[in-house]
Structure 1
Amino acid sequence: MVKDKKLYDLLGVSPSADENEIKKGYRKAALKYHPDKPTGDTEKFKEISEAFDILSDSNKRQVYDDYGLDAARGNAPAGNPFENAGGHPFGGAGGGHGGFRSGGFTNADAFNIFSQMGGFGMGGDDGFGFGSHGGFGGGSQFHSTGGSPFGGFGGGMPGGFGGGGQAPRRREPDTVTMQLPVSLEDLFNGSLKKMKLNRKGVTGSKESKVLEIQLRPGWKAGTKINFANEGDYQEEAGARQTIQFVLEEKPHATFKRDGNNLKMDLHLSFKESLCGFSREVTTIDGRRIPLNRSQPVQPNTSTTYPGLGMPISKSPGQRGDLEIVFKVDYPISLTADQKQIIQQYF
């Protein structure tokens, strides 16, 4: 019987949950409480990420089940057979995913885990996109450098099992924000963008790194994509900066986005607005639709085509609407004969 069920409850799984159930539980909870979401809660997000960090590692999970959360964090309880053993019970106290990190679980750790698991673009057969545990395969666009996916938590284990005093806590690495201009077509179809970074390495030398950013159909301006541990190396943090791209939508010549809907103006001559017209409109995905009117059209009225707008990222297969707004181009002057005809017939 497990000593404490708190971490299992955070992920919404039972103590007998297998690896796949733990991954799915983390995915659901992390997406709900991520700070960028309307339901976001930074502290809850950190707790969920720490729960996954412990329960997804068989060694940490065993210590948690047997001795509780403090032990899993590296604080050996009284009576722990590993206490004063002079080292880590599982073969070293490094900063990798299988080690017990010193200094406590930080917000940076939480975001690093979320990024390593695919961020908001979580995919794959189980909806998550990992490979085998610790490998983070399956097409994830996030690539950590160095031996630890959390970056900079290597070294010894002061304050851990059998360690000495608590080590000074390193500050979290900075987050560098960059605007990423993308076209409306990129956001409609999804697109792979490659960005080349010139960054400072561990030794201070300059190096290059290409980041691949997979845009998902339906993403909106303001969407943030984080690449943890990919910027300049910061010695005081013992890790690289987090690079954060913020999507910026380029103006489109025809369409204007309104949430999941698209709007376009259709300009009519004064004659067309009175006598009717026959036009053909091309949608953002290249579909041609006929548009006819035989009666007068009032300026700024509109017609709506359901399902011809932008993809809805949270509802695959669904799209918003296309709204066509009629704009009447009135003449700026009239001849005497034109005025007479208007006065005669109107």
Structure 2
Amino acid sequence: MLARVSTTALLLGLLVYLPLLVAAARDWYEVLGVSRHASERDIKSAYRKKARHIHPDKHPDRAEEFMELTEAYQTLSDPELRSIYDRYGADAAQQHQAKKDSGHQDPLDLFRQFFGGGASGGADTTPKGPTKIYQASVPLADVYIGRSFTIEHERTVVCPACFGSGAHSSEHIHTCSQCQGRGVQMMRQQIMPGFVTNVQMQCPHCNGAGRTIAKLCGRCRGQRVLHDKTEIEVEVEAGAREGYEYVLEEMGDQSPDMEAGDVVVQVTSDAGPGDLRRLGHHLYTTEALSLHEALLGFDRTFHHYDGHTVRLRRTEVTQPGFVMRVEDEGMPIPVDERDQAGGRLHGDLFVEFRVVLPKLDAEARAQLGQVLAPPMAHTEL
């Protein structure tokens, strides 16, 4: 509670200098990251995305940036203020607002209206659509290097022709004459002989919408949404852990009645035949040795996923099943996991050796028998 009070006090203190901030502010459309032709929905969506990431409770050093974002949203989300801003600039929009409102709205209250928190003004009641989850399996080499890939995403989008109204134009939308726009009607229903009660039911004339449409939108045919296909690009960080979820906010199905849901892409690695195997930040592989190499040693190299060579060398006898550990030749460790890994940049590579015995002809068997013959036992005379 103390931290929240101090944050609010900080923001209210900055409000004293609001005129100076507004005068020096960047373009409000640029602050929100939208075009000058953005719809009210686009402006609201842009505010949602940015406000979560710069809230002063988590980032006290970004309080001024949060205020600037809030001022941009308050101006552009109000059609009257937006029109004044477009024609005369931020100063004129602020002066107009000051005439209507003697005080200033706490930016934190605006944030809570979007994301909840019990502040004055209530919480935003617009429901959020469902989250769509994709599971993607990518080659282990791509996870080692860090590469992007695309997936085809099917979703519904609000009809751009009617902006989700379903009507040819606003003139073709009429209040339902049966329910007077309430969407429900009171109906008398007999529950048993001699007993009649009033029951509230959905208006059958407008199907609960409270309005009727005289002429449907020619593009969506009154459905208010259209089916759309798009490509989503996912940037896989080098060494990303198995099952890591990439969240693409508000890329899910759109609807005029709710906020767009999110898209989540769960990424796992796919090791093909003869490929390295992964366990956490470490990599595992198996190497075959000849009998000659197992007995007398070996010096060999193989190419890693990014093209550099790894040297494997032994001068001693290598027993079947022996495991060699090569430090720092495993998976890259993502930046946010390096503290837990003791500051290391890579995991290790573990190489297990197996010995392939040769086929012997009679002569080779005789020679090998002499070499490997057990010493003669000594007997007393």
Matching residue's letter, 1:267: A
Task: State the partner residue of 1:319.
Answer: 346
Alpha-carbon distance in 1 for matches of 2:103, 2:133: 38
Q: CA deviation at 1:101?
A: 6.4
Alpha-carbon distance in 2 for matches of 1:345, 1:295: 22
Alpha-carbon distance in 1 for matches of 2:298, 2:111: 71
Task: State the partner residue of 1:194.
Answer: 150
Q: CA deviation at 1:295?
A: 2.9
Q: 1:105 to 1:279 in 2, by over 3 A?
A: same
Where in structure 1 are there 5+ consecutive unaligned residues? 10-15, 20-45, 62-81, 91-96, 108-158, 161-165
Give the counterpart of 1:286 among 294, 302, 307: 307
Task: State the partner residue of 1:344.
Answer: 373
Q: CA deviation at 1:227?
A: 0.6
Encode CA deviations 1:60-111: one digit per residue, 9 max, x unaligned.
59xxxxxxxxxxxxxxxxxxxx9xx689968xxxxxx99936855159xxxx
Higher relative contact order (CA 8 A, sep 6+): 2
Alpha-carbon distance in 1 for matches of 2:245, 2:371: 57
Q: CA deviation at 1:5?
A: 0.8
Q: 1:3 to 1:103 in 2, by over 3 A?
A: closer
Q: TM-score, normalised by structure 2?
A: 0.48
Q: Which has the higher helix share?
A: 2
Residue 249 of structure 1 pairs with residue 269 of structure 2: yes
Task: State the partner residue of 2:356.
Answer: 329
Q: CA deviation at 1:228?
A: 1.0
Matching residue's letter, 1:177: I
Q: CA deviation at 1:219?
A: 1.1
Alpha-carbon distance in 1 for matches of 2:4, 2:133: 42
Encode CA deviations 1:228-258: one digit per residue, 9 max, x unaligned.
111111455x121210001110114331123
Q: Which structure: larger Rg?
A: 2
Contact 2:285 2:351 in 1 (8 A): yes
Task: State the partner residue of 2:242.
Answer: 221
Matching residue's letter, 1:240: A
Q: 1:333 to 1:222 in 2, by over 3 A?
A: farther
Alpha-carbon distance in 1 for matches of 2:127, 2:114: 12
Task: State the partner residue of 1:113.
Answer: none
Q: CA deviation at 1:328?
A: 2.2
Encode CA deviations 1:196-241: one digit per residue, 9 max, x unaligned.
31211123211122222222212121111101111111455x1212
**How many residue pairs were aligned?**
231
Matching residue's letter, 2:352: V
Encode CA deviations 1:169-200: one digit per residue, 9 max, x unaligned.
23332111111212222122211222231211
Matching residue's letter, 2:115: F
Contact 2:277 2:285 in 1 (8 A): yes
Map 1:75-114; keep pairs closer than 5 Å: 100=110, 105-106=115-116
Contact 1:59 1:98 in 2 (8 A): no
Matching residue's letter, 2:260: R
Matching residue's letter, 1:195: I
Contact 2:301 2:311 in 1 (8 A): yes
Identity among equivalent positions (%) equals 19
Contact 1:254 1:265 in 2 (8 A): no
Encode CA deviations 1:141-170: one digit per residue, 9 max, x unaligned.
xxxxxxxxxxxxxxxxxx84xxxxx68823
Alpha-carbon distance in 1 for matches of 2:67, 2:373: 87
Alpha-carbon distance in 2 for matches of 1:284, 1:8: 53
Contact 2:238 2:333 in 1 (8 A): yes
Alpha-carbon distance in 2 for matches of 1:47, 1:226: 14
Residue 57 of structure 1 pairs with residue 58 of structure 2: no
SS in 1 for 2:247: strand
Matching residue's letter, 1:181: S
Map 1:97-136; keep pairs closer than 5 Å: 100=110, 105-106=115-116
What is the aligned-residue RMSD (CA, Å)?
4.8
Map 1:138-177; keep pairs closer than 5 Å: 160=121, 169-177=125-133
Q: 1:276 to 1:168 in 2, by over 3 A?
A: closer
Task: State the partner residue of 2:286.
Answer: 265
Alpha-carbon distance in 2 for matches of 1:88, 1:295: 83
Contact 2:126 2:259 in 1 (8 A): no
Task: State the partner residue of 1:230.
Answer: 251
Contact 1:308 1:319 in 2 (8 A): yes
Where in structure 2 are there 5+ consecutive unaligned residues? 11-16, 26-51, 72-96, 159-223, 376-381
Alpha-carbon distance in 2 for matches of 1:59, 1:292: 60
Alpha-carbon distance in 1 for matches of 2:281, 2:103: 52
Alpha-carbon distance in 2 for matches of 1:287, 1:47: 39
SS in 1 for 2:144: helix
Q: CA deviation at 1:329?
A: 3.1
Task: State the partner residue of 2:331.
Answer: 310
Q: 1:54 to 1:239 in 2, by over 3 A?
A: farther
Task: State the partner residue of 1:239.
Answer: 259
Contact 1:228 1:242 in 2 (8 A): yes
Q: 1:99 to 1:274 in 2, by over 3 A?
A: same
Alpha-carbon distance in 1 for matches of 2:247, 2:291: 51
Alpha-carbon distance in 1 for matches of 2:314, 2:145: 32
Contact 2:8 2:108 in 1 (8 A): no
SS in 2 for 1:344: coil
SS in 2 for 1:178: strand
